[in-house]
Amino acid sequence: MKRVPLIVKLLIAIALGFFLGIAIRQMADQGMLWAMIPGRILVTFNGIFGNFLGFVVPLLIVAFVSVGIAELGRGAGKMLGFAVLLAYTSTVLAGLFAYGVGSTVIPRLLDNGFMSLEITRQEGGLALERLFSIDMPALFPITSALIAAFILGIGVSTLGERGALYEVLNSFQKIVEKIIGSIIIPLLPFHIAGIFMSMAFDGEALQVLGVMALIFVLIIAMHWIMLIVHYTLAGTMRGKNPFVMLKTMLPAYFAAIGTQSSVATMPVTRQCTIKNGADENIVNFTVPLFTTIHMPGSIITITTSALAVSLLMGHSIETATMISFIFSASIMMVAAPGVPGGSIMAASGVLQSILGFDATLLSLMIAIYLAQDSFGTAANVTGDGALTFFVEKFAKKEGITGQ
């Protein structure tokens, strides 16, 4: 089971949860209330897992954001500063683009009969209640975690050396990453199964599944629009056909879909970018950096999914709030951990603090994100190739060579 891809596990969990919820509901409606016991056990697990997730999120923020900022600060130069600003700008613009399209298209898809905004719940007074609960209050609020992470990260970067504090933060990051990789990710399919079981029991699951399918198609379309814009700008600057450049990057795109990892795809991304005519020294600098900090595909997915989940659950997000979320989440992308779904994990703090998502909404977000994580990664690494040409032009203008 360990070799089964995470997306397959999630799809199996959604299907099992869906059918289990329907079966439990039908049996309970016929008076077989004992059939609700498995559902109550799963609901109890969901409550415990959700509380644990809420406990871990502030720790994740401190661990990854502080180290991410500290590592960016060491050895910073003109080209590094330009590359970081370029990657952040690209990620923010991608998020704003996703918000513009999503806020226009998603409500129309839902209101025009593709899917109803009104979730129809089963009646009858039956409810799956927890057997017990375990409170796990976070050590500190999300906002406090963000402030602490920025203070620690900036403070360590100003020291200019890998001192004791950096080593402590780096070790803490590894501990949190181990928790994500060994506990949260493996248990996530059970949590998702529980969520869809509860929704199927209440008559909500079909609506949610339909929205997820629509959002998946919309997200992939926006990924490609974003990539075409990236390479149109890069091609115009270099006097090359943008579609030929994009075609040259396709091996990196498909490699990322297969590996679901920007880091694992790095050799292919590097090779394709050099083949497109970029200076090898610049590529050796930009590809490893952008692999870590340039996440336009991820922010498109997260922004669009957040809009869809909010609308589905009857919440509305004001424009100013969403813009604040995009700018903050784009910073969080810099600190995304190197595990499946790392970007959504890094953004979980601002999803809670700015958009007010609870554990259930956050879990739905994670499920939607992980369902297309490989495509978001593919968009990220392909976009890295385009941004390399802008850094190359800046380096030539500044007379920077041999980086």
Q: What is the CA radius of gyration of the chain?
A: 22
Confidence band of 120 (pLDDT split at 50, 70, 90):
very low
Q: What is the mean pLDDT of residues 304-326?
A: 86
Residue 198's pLDDT is: 80
User: Which residue has better confidence, 390 or 203?
Assistant: 390
Confidence band of 402 (pLDDT split at 50, 70, 90):
very low
Whether the predicted pLDDT of 119 surpasses 60: no
Residue 291's pLDDT is: 81
Q: What is the mean pLDDT of residues 236-263?
A: 85
SS3 403: coil
Q: What is the mean pLDDT of residues 248-259?
A: 82
Residue 118's pLDDT is: 45
Residue 27's pLDDT is: 85
Residue-wise pLDDT tens digits, 86-115: 999 999 999 999 999 999 988 887 664 444
Residue 318's pLDDT is: 87
Residue 260's pLDDT is: 66
Rank 54-58, 80-84, 316-320, 369-373 by mean pLDDT and report only the highest. 316-320
Q: What is the mean pLDDT of residues 160-167?
A: 80
User: Which residue has better confidence, 377 or 221?
Assistant: 221
**Tell me, what DSSP letter sits at residue 381?**
H
Residue 355's pLDDT is: 87
Whether the predicted pLDDT of 117 surpasses 60: no
Q: Tell me what the pLDDT averaged over the chain comes to.
A: 81
Angle (CA) 134 136 137, round 5°: 140
Residue 259's pLDDT is: 62
Angle (CA) 104 106 112, round 5°: 100
Confidence band of 73 (pLDDT split at 50, 70, 90):
low
CA dist 27 and 39 (Å) reads 12
Rank 100-114, 200-214, 373-387 by mean pLDDT and report only the highest. 373-387
Q: Burial, 66: exposed, middle or buried (Cβ in 10 Å; 0-12, 13-18, 19+)?
A: buried
In residues, how long is the chain?
A: 403
Q: What is the mean pLDDT of residues 31-54?
A: 83
Residue 93's pLDDT is: 96
User: Which residue has better confidence, 297 or 206?
Assistant: 297
Ramachandran bin of 21, using left for φ above 0, alpha for ψ from -120 to 50, beta for the remaining angles: alpha
Distance of CA 148 to the CA centre of its chain: 22
Residue 31's pLDDT is: 76
Whether the predicted pLDDT of 212 surpasses 50: yes
Residue 189's pLDDT is: 83
Q: What is the mean pLDDT of residues 183-208?
A: 77
Residue 125's pLDDT is: 53
CA dist 44 and 10 (Å) reads 19
Domains of the chain (ranges plus CATH)? 6-120+139-398 (1.10.3860)
| Structure token digits, residue 16 | 């099992």
Residues in contact with 182: Cβ distance below 8 Å, sequence separation at least 6, in sequence order: none
**DSSP letters spanning 128-161:** ---S-------SS-HHHHHHHHHHHHHHHHHH-S
Using a pLDDT cut of 70, give the percent of the chain over it: 84
Whether the predicted pLDDT of 122 surpasses 70: no
Residue 204's pLDDT is: 62
Q: What is the mean pLDDT of residues 204-215?
A: 70
